[in-house]
Amino acid sequence: MAELLFLCTGNYYRSRFAEILFNSLATDFCPEWQADSCGLALERGLHNVGPISTAAVERLAELGITCDTIHRMPRSLQVADLERVQHVVAVKEAEHRELLTERFPGWADRVEYWHIHDIDFESADTALTSLEQHVRQLVQRLAAAGSPS
């Protein structure tokens, strides 16, 4: 099984949505892949309440997606997480490249970066729609590539 890791700042909204959506889609299109997610700076999520944002849960429900991991609390990224996965996606380069460089030296250039804003810059509807498009494209790309080596 190949592992993919989604990163955001608080592992509360964007990366959790991407993880759950990816795993739902991967079942049919690239079953050899499984996603997880972590946060780079959980301490910045002072207003995060509970395990996952309500907006993410609502959008997943609209898509007909449920999952057991929806109740797990946000997790902080550890070096071991980076070492065990085959692919890493950080959801916003302008926000996450610097955090990776600062907190995980040597890893910033090994990550695929997207440009999905957090809710302080973009509405949840817009951000989650963009995330959904990116995740679907990633699933298609991995499915087309076949089994990872």
Per-residue pLDDT tens over the stretch 11-22: 999 999 999 999
Which residues are bridge partners to 37 per DSSP? 6
* DSSP H or E stretch at residue 16: helix 14-29
Per-residue pLDDT tens over the stretch 60-106: 999 999 877 778 899 999 999 999 999 999 999 999 999 999 999 99
Sequence-ordered list of residues with C-beta below 8 angstroms from that of 51, at least 6 positions apart, any chain: 12, 16, 70, 71, 72, 73, 74
Strands of 1-149, DSSP E: 2-8, 33-39, 87-90, 112-113
The whole domain housing 36 covers 2-145
Which pTM does this prediction carry? Answer: 0.94
Which residues are bridge partners to 110 per DSSP? none
What CATH number does residue 6 fall under? 3.40.50.2300
> What is the number of domains present in the chain?
1
Per-residue pLDDT tens over the stretch 112-133: 999 999 887 888 899 999 999 9
54 vs 130: CA distance, rounded Å? 17
